[in-house]
Amino acid sequence: MGPFVSGILADIVMLCHVLLFVLNLLGHALTVAVVFGYSKWWRESSFWRTTHGAFNLVIIVEACFGWDCPLTTLEKRLRKGSGQQVYAGSFVERLFDGIWNYGAAHVRGPLIWVLVALAVLLAGAHLIAFIRHPPRWLSVWFRAGFVAETE
């Protein structure tokens, strides 16, 4: 693969990463809305709620173990293959560098852990939403007696 194609593919991977990041934030907002009794569509959307929960579990595990996201690794390899400069750190660090321009090295580590703590809190909200308003597939389990009902 040539450097030009590799660079374009790296940009496409980065765009997909940004899209997933924004969709994840939207999912968090909708999950919090479910916890407070709003967003009936999200509450009844089994596929999207389950997918969002699994996606967040993967993100939390990656962050806690210090693993890079596979999309970050792919983007870095494509950028290196195209001869472009490869950024240091994770995608989220790069994203916040561009938004907040927090270049100080002593701030980066703590900020990432604040974001991880926020992700864990939002995962807790997701769990509360699952318990208070189970998705359809989990409701079927309740009716079948596989899981004890909470209400």
Q: What is the pLDDT of residue 106?
A: 47
User: Does 82 reside within a domain?
Assistant: yes
User: Does 151 reside within a domain?
Assistant: no
Q: What is the residue range of 115's domain?
A: 3-144
User: Does 62 reside within a domain?
Assistant: yes
User: Does 53 reside within a domain?
Assistant: yes
pLDDT in tens, 23-66: 888 888 888 888 787 877 777 777 888 888 888 888 888 878 87
- SS3 of the chain: CCHHHHHHHHHHHHHHHHHHHHHHHHHHHHHHHHHCCCCHHHHHCHHHHHHHHHHHHHHHHHHHHCCCCHHHHHHHHHHHHCCCCCCCCCHHHHHHHHHHCCCCHHHHHHHHHHHHHHHHHHHHHHHHHHHHCCCHHHHHHHHHCCCCCCC
User: Does 59 reside within a domain?
Assistant: yes
Q: What is the pLDDT of residue 101?
A: 53
Q: What is the pLDDT of residue 104?
A: 47
As for how many domains the chain has, the answer is 1
